[in-house]
Amino acid sequence: MPQRPDQPADHAPDGLPQTFEFERPSKTRRKQQAHDLQALGEALVALPPSRLKDVPMPEALRDAIAQYRRTRSFEGQRRQLQYVGKQMRFADEGPLREAVDAFKLGSAKDTLTLHETERWRDELVASDDALTRWAGEFPGSDLQRLRSLVRAARKDAAAAPEQRNGRGYRELFQFIKPWLGDAAGQPAHDRGEHHDDEEEPDDE
């Protein structure tokens, strides 16, 4: 009896060609994907332009984001944001999400540095022990200037509320901040110098 040849791999047992069915995403899944892209688009338009300059994306998406920034009316922004979400379908999500995540991480580090600066300022004004600890942690800082700033801040704190101008606190804050930024792995500014464009919380 002749041996039956093996059936081809692409045929079913009955000799008919094998068919493959590709499962389409469910309607719920498609809606979730659209929602995720829309949320990513909202995060992108909130980024500073400098953060998006070198991020790879289709020109249509880049133009849509630029148009959103130029739009002033609420309704116009709403419609343009929907258009941004549609253009997101043709973009590689990876670099876009990386840009958003990097910005969020940077903002978190900035907030941490701000709180640490406030803590050091308050402790330096309150106690000479803090001066000793500062000198141990930041031996390269201008300790003579730091002591002068601390004295000015203490003098301001001891004055009557109506006589306080807050300058001593502000200058001490500006001295401390770049050193803590450098310790946190962030670019340090010119240490000890006051920069008018830097923000700090208002003193109570």
Task: Write down the domain spans for the chain.
Answer: 28-91, 109-179
How large is the average pLDDT for residues 160-168? 79
The Cβ-side half-sphere exposure at 140, using a 13 Å CA radius, reads 6
Domain 28-91, second-level architecture: Orthogonal Bundle (1.10)
Domain 109-179, second-level architecture: Orthogonal Bundle (1.10)
pTM: 0.47
How large is the average pLDDT for residues 137-148? 93
Reference 195, options 163, 171, 167; nearest CA is: 171
How large is the average pLDDT for residues 52-67? 88
Q: Sign of the C-alpha dihedral, residues 84, 90, 94, 99?
A: negative
